[in-house]
Structure 1
Amino acid sequence: MTIPGLIAPGTLVLAAPPVPVGLRIIGLDLSLTSTGVCLPDGSTFRIKTRAATGDRRLLVIRDRIRAALAEHRPHLAVVEDLPVHAMAAGRTGHVHGVVKAELLDADVPYALVVPATLKSYACDHGSADKARMSAAAYLAAGVEWADDKGGDQCDAWWLRAAGHDALGSPLFAMPQAQRDRLTKVKWPAEILQRYTVAVPR
């Protein structure tokens, strides 16, 4: 496994360029029971719901996302995409619909990152588990979550980091091979044109 902080001796690691002034990215790991959110300042939280409330859980998630968008006014949302063949994809799809509607209403462009791409970016392994994702975040930036057993906040944190990396303003050093995994993502053209910083290779 290749993870941030464990770069082979002799490998040239370029210093991360400064984040473009005012660039705000939000990371969203959507779930009907526990949605992970990483705000533009890097802080994270979970939106937890109870099955007993039924479909009203969608309103709880919608309202919390709406409030976060209004307060932080992100330029880009990076959202973990639905797994193609997972049984839970149907339920999570309802959350995706509600959140995408909020993003569209708020005029916030979004990019969808499939789980395997996010894991490959973070850990150089497309099926990395939550423990490895958390370990990689700790090694990359010293962050950890005591209340994130499901890894929702960790994934949201990595989604925000992926957005910064894709725009050429990485938040920490990463092996170039892992950065290259993000070329599979369809990033909004208007965001790439406005904020992308050229990073020497």
Structure 2
Amino acid sequence: MTAPAQFDAVPAATPAAGPRPRIIGLDISLTSTGVALPDGSTYRIKTRPADGDRRLVVIRDNIRRALTTHAPVHLAVVEDLPVTANSAGITGMVHGIVRCELADAEVPRALIAAATLKSYAADYGRADKARMADAAYLAVGRQFTDDPGGDQCDAWWLRCAGHDWWGDPLFPLPDVQRNRLTKAKWPAGVPRLAR
């Protein structure tokens, strides 16, 4: 892999005045939920099938702790439910638990489809985990060495997308990629700077 390089693109929009928004990214899954915290650090919430519905409690408690520890959180950017019925049903249970925690903490939530996130990050809607990780490395030199499923990387990109939408981009991206975020479901009242 080569050293990180800047994209040949128009410079990112000027960051919003005042403190940087506190945004988290969540790639929700019953087996391995990726979390990107406001400071940019990431981790996975791993669960085991043998634990049954206790897995939901583990995920809920971890999200609750992240929201409390890193308060205030201004926005949570969540990968939307998959379109296939089987996956949507299983993942839907976890989404419900996480959405309850976000609602209790009064954190607005955005939803981004996986294909939109991949197009935004890697300029290809069917990018695999390696291509997503390569895009993070090219953008800022960020590596995901302990992330076999790509959950932390996806959560990191979700957080970056939230910053872009807020008008506080973390690094330059071509406008064609950045503009793909218009396909996401953004909450009302979240500021967005004009480009």
TM-score (structure 2 length as normaliser): 0.92
Question: Shift of residue 42 of structure 1?
Answer: 0.3
**Aligned partner of residue 186 in structure 1, secondary structure:** coil
Question: Shift of residue 16 of structure 1?
Answer: 4.6
Moved more, 16-25 or 55-64: 16-25
Partner of 1:197: 193
TM-score (structure 1 length as normaliser): 0.89
Provide closer, same or farther for how the CA distance between residues 142 and 7 of structure 1 changes in structure 2, counting only shifts above 3 A.
closer
Question: Which residue, out of 9, 18, 21, partners 2:19?
Answer: 21
Residues 1:47 and 2:45 are matched in the alignment? yes
- Name the CA distance, whole Å, in 2 between partners of 1:128 and 1:22: 29
The unaligned stretches of length 5 or more in structure 2 are none
Kept after mapping to 1: 8 A contact 2:34/2:151: yes
The unaligned stretches of length 5 or more in structure 1 are none
Question: Shift of residue 168 of structure 1?
Answer: 1.4
Q: How many residues align?
A: 190
Question: Shift of residue 197 of structure 1?
Answer: 3.1
Provide closer, same or farther for how the CA distance between residues 58 and 37 of structure 1 changes in structure 2, counting only shifts above 3 A.
same
Kept after mapping to 1: 8 A contact 2:6/2:172: no
Question: Shift of residue 7 of structure 1?
Answer: 3.9
Residues 1:165 and 2:164 are matched in the alignment? yes
- Name the CA distance, whole Å, in 2 between partners of 1:72 and 1:29: 18
Residues 1:78 and 2:74 are matched in the alignment? no
- Name the CA distance, whole Å, in 2 between partners of 1:106 and 1:98: 13
RMSD: 1.6
User: Percent of aligned pairs with the same residue?
Assistant: 66
Which amino acid is the alignment partner of residue 156 of structure 2? W
